[in-house]
Chains A and B, each alone.
Chain A
Amino acid sequence: DQQVKQNSPSLSVQEGRISILNCDYTNSMFDYFLWYKKYPAEGPTFLISISSIKDKNEDGRFTVFLNKSAKHLSLHIVPSQPGDSAVYFCAASASGGYQKVTFGTGTKLQVIP
C-alpha cells in the first residue's frame, strides 16, 4: 500500500524554467511533509518541509504547496538550474506518538542547459 505517491517517474525541464514536482498521499493522518533531493551514489538530502497548518512554504528557489483537501503537494523550483538534476523524494509523517516517515517512489528531474 503506497501511501505517498509520485506518479511521474521523470521530468525534463529547460534551464531557467519552472520545475513542478507533484506528490499525492492517501493517509489523512499525515500532517508533516518533506522533500528530499538525491544525487547518484549519495544519500538523500533534506530540501524543504511544510506542516499541515500551512499551505505554502518558501526557501529561496524552492516552494512547496500543500492542498490538504486534495491530499496533494507540489514542489516548485524557479528558476531551474542544471545542478537541480537529481531524484526528488516526497515524504510524509503523522504527529502523535512515534510515527515513521513514509517516502514516495521519487521523480527524476533533468534540467537541460
Chain B
Amino acid sequence: KAGVTQTPRYLIKTRGQQVTLSCSPISGHRSVSWYQQTPGQGLQFLFEYFSETQRNKGNFPGRFSGRQFSNSRSEMNVSTLELGDSALYLCASSFGQNYGYTFGSGTRLTVV
C-alpha cells in the first residue's frame, strides 16, 4: 500500500516569503500530525488534525498554520519565513491515538 507522501521533498525559500507543504496520508488514516525536526531538538510537535479538525497544537508561533481536507490530505503553511524555520518537516498519519505513526520522508525547507 502507498505510504505517507510529502511534497515537495526539498524547498529553498527567501526570508519573508511564505511556503505551503503538502501531506497525503495512508488511505484510511484520518489523523495527520506535523513535526519539525532540527539538529539537537528532536521532533517538535506542530499540530494534529483529525477529520478536518485541529485537535492539538504545539508551541509554535501563529506563522505556522495547517489544515486538513475531507480526503484527509493535509497542508501546512509557514508565513513570513525566518532563517530559523530551516528544518525537516515531517508529516505522520495514523488510525488514531495509540496507533503507531507512519511518517513520510519529509520536506527539507531551507530559508536563505
Contacts and interface: CB of A to CB of B under 8 A. Distances in A.
- The interface size bin for chain B is 20 to 34
Interface in B28-56: 33, 35, 40-45, 48, 50, 55-56
A41 B105 contact: yes
Given A46-B102, A100-B48, A106 B90 contact: no
A105 B40 contact: yes
Nearest to A91: B43
Nearest to B43: A103
- The interface size bin for chain A is 20 to 34
Interface SS of chain B: strand
B48 A98 contact: yes
Interface string A38-51: 00011111100101
Interface in B1-27: 4, 6
Given A34-B100, A44-B103, A101 B55 contact: no
A95 B101 contact: no
Interface of A: 4, 6, 9, 32, 34, 36, 41-46, 49, 51, 89, 91, 93, 95, 98-106
Given A32-B98, A43-B103, A100-B48, 5 more contacts: A34-B100, A101-B33, A103-B43, A103-B45, A106-B42
